[in-house]
């Protein structure tokens, strides 16, 4: 069957259309995205403003039109941290429902983590053994560890690349003092949460997901997305450190000239590097593999499993 997934993230809104059935890998048919940056459309109290809510409703309508043109039978629509944390999130959801007919499911952080882990496990397979997944989004960082399709440990931390940029890295570029302060803050937050992972058995395999991880790997020389999802792409912690040193003195415009860095993500790539380096270092990871599947694929796989 042909399914559509609408993903309302902190940075972008995505539509993914796939051909899928239980027991088979979802095959992408088309993709569409809009850079919305809901996390930046907030007032002093953190509520999503009129412009952000209107743009969101408009884009969901646009997604529905594309899905209809593509022959989609079922739409799965969900939202993450940007709406989850907004004090007027319910009102925004009501507006989208009234104007588009789409009932967005708001995922809790731990559910984001579990769905991403499911997708990563299905991608790498059982031969990967005990698996650690590091997923850096715009609003949050998800960390999962386990042997099965359901992780033994799953956490969602407020350490997304967009959030760290907004909270700790003002300026274009930020000052060296701000960068050091951001690094300290990220590591302190991670260190408080690491005990359950340290008590568990060490992972056999480590994967990184998300646009941030893919961009960091691309800067370090990984194959471009045009070469397809089955090309092996890895990221070493030493590569991340080199990237941090490289992009720290750059403006957002200069960063956007780097391979794999879009203008929409250029401001956040430094924060993404800081979070990635901290997570890899504190978990003792010298190298990880980039996984092309993440939460959207996890949503699809969960849906197909329940259908069966």
301 within some domain:
no
Q: Are residues 28 and 158 in the same domain?
A: no
Closest CA to 277 of 195, 224, 213: 213
Q: Longest C-alpha distance within the chain, in Å?
A: 54
Q: Are residues 219 and 249 in the same domain?
A: yes
pLDDT at 131 (0 to 100): 98
The answer for residues whose C-beta is within 8 angstroms of residue 188's C-beta and 6 or more apart is none
Q: Would you say 272 and 250 are in contact if contact means Cβ atoms under 8 Å apart?
A: no
Q: What are the angstrom distances between the C-alpha of 51 and each of 36, 199, 208?
A: 10, 46, 33
Element spanning 143, H or E: strand 141-146
Q: Are residues 49 and 83 in the same domain?
A: yes
Q: How many domains does the chain have?
A: 2
300 within some domain:
no
DSSP state of 201: P
Give the residue ranges of the chain where pLDDT is below 50: none
**Spatial distance between the Cα atoms of 299 and 7, rounded to a whole number of angstroms:** 10
Residue range 215-266, pLDDT digits in tens: 999 999 999 999 999 999 999 999 999 999 999 999 999 999 999 999 989 9
Tokens 């990221």: give the residue: 235
- Residue that is last in its domain, among 47, 82, 106: 106
- Residue that is last in its domain, among 89, 106, 123: 106
302 within some domain:
no
* Domain CATH for 15: 3.30.420.40
Q: Are residues 182 and 102 in the same domain?
A: no
pLDDT at 126 (0 to 100): 96
Q: Is the pTM of this model over 0.75?
A: yes
Range of the domain at 235: 109-295
pLDDT at 308 (0 to 100): 64
267 within some domain:
yes
Q: Are residues 149 and 253 in the same domain?
A: yes
């Amino acid at each position: 069957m042909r399914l559509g997934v609408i993903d309302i993230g902190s940075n972008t809104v995505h539509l993914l259309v796939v051909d899928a059935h239980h027991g088979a890998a979802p095959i992408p048919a088309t993709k569409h995205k809009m850079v919305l940056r809901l996390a930046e459309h907030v007032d002093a109290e953190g509520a999503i403003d009129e412009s952000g809510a209107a743009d969101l409703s408009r884009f969901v309508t646009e997604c529905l039109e594309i899905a209809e043109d593509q022959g989609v039978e079922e739409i799965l629509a969900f939202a993450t941290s940007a709406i989850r944390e907004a004090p007027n999130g319910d009102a925004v959801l009501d507006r989208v429902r009234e104007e588009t007919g789409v009932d967005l499911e708001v995922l809790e952080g731990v559910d984001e983590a579990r769905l991403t882990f499911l997708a990563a496990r299905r991608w790498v397979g059982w031969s990967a053994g005990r698996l650690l997944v590091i997923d850096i989004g715009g609003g949050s960082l998800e960390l999962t560890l386990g042997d099965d399709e359901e992780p033994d440990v799953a956490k969602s931390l407020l350490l997304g690349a967009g959030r760290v940029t907004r909270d700790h890295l003002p300026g274009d570029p930020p000052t060296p003092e701000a960068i050091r302060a951001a690094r300290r803050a990220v590591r302190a937050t991670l260190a408080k949460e690491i005990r359950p992972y340290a008590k568990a058995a060490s992972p056999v395999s480590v994967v990184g997901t998300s646009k941030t991880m893919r961009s960091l790997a691309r800067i370090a020389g990984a194959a471009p997305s045009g070469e397809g999802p089955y090309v092996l792409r890895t990221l070493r912690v030493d590569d991340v450190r080199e990237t941090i040193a490289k992009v720290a003195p750059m403006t957002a415009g200069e960063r956007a000239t780097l391979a794999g860095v879009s203008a929409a993500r250029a401001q956040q790539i430094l924060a993404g590097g800081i979070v990635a380096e901290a997570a890899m270092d504190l978990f003792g990871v010298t190298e990880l593999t980039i996984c092309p599947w993440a939460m959207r694929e996890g949503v699809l796989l969960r849906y197909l499993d329940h259908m069966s």
